[in-house]
A and B are shown apart, each in its own frame.
Chain A
């Protein structure tokens, strides 16, 4: 069975700073996807970024980037130039590639961006 662990329940940084959220996972599978989802106070789950395990290059989306270390089973999210609108719960998630992708989520990290 796959597990996802987010070891930082809460984090807080000042606006414009860079912050890194940690995620580790455990699996025996070789082909899978990793995701970061954002959940603002509205509760809507919003995809932030996605990484395919077979790709060596780290995914980037504007101010968001990941550090994917497959051997270490680590998948951290870096937010650059943080903004007040980045305040949210962030969930790391894992899904194997074959068939319908059942997401396995971590417990979440509550990120607060202070003005």
Chain B
């Protein structure tokens, strides 16, 4: 069955370190998204991609970057982790025709 996976599921890091969160989908979806979830804010969009080599900034993109070298993967990089980036991160994907987004299981990140 097609799916979307994230790794790691839990991560503890220190302030200032670079961190990369992986997202892999086997739906063959063109569109991929990264969201963060914080108490009182629901989910907020960080970055998104419409296809290979395409990336776009979302609502809360400062301090994050993404790259899309193939259809299946959209890694999220925190260039220099900050305590404000402690959050739960969700990856999602959707097809060109089918607009519903399917979510990965989430990554809980703690920045100390």
Q: Using a CB–CB distance below 8 Å, which chain A residues touch chain B?
A: 4, 33, 35, 37, 42-47, 50, 91, 93, 95, 97, 99-108
In the complex, identify which listed stretch (B19-27, B62-70, B73-81, B93-101) lies at the interface while the others stay far away.
B93-101
Beyond A45-B92, A102-B45, 7 extra complex contacts between A and B, CB < 8 Å: A35-B100, A37-B103, A42-B105, A44-B105, A100-B48, A105-B44, A108-B42
Give every chain B residue within 8 A of A91 (Cβ-Cβ): 42-43
Give every chain A residue within 8 A of B42 (Cβ-Cβ): 4, 91, 105-108
Give every chain A residue within 8 A of B88 (Cβ-Cβ): 43
CB contact between A105 and one of B31, B43, B50, B102 (< 8 Å): that residue? B43
Residue of A nearest to B50 (CB): A100
Within 8 A of A (CB), among B16-72: 30-31, 33, 35, 40-45, 48-50, 58
Shortest CB-to-CB span from B72 to chain A, Å, is 16
- 7 shortest A-B CB distances, which residue pairs? A105-B42, A45-B103, A100-B31, A105-B43, A107-B42, A43-B106, A100-B50
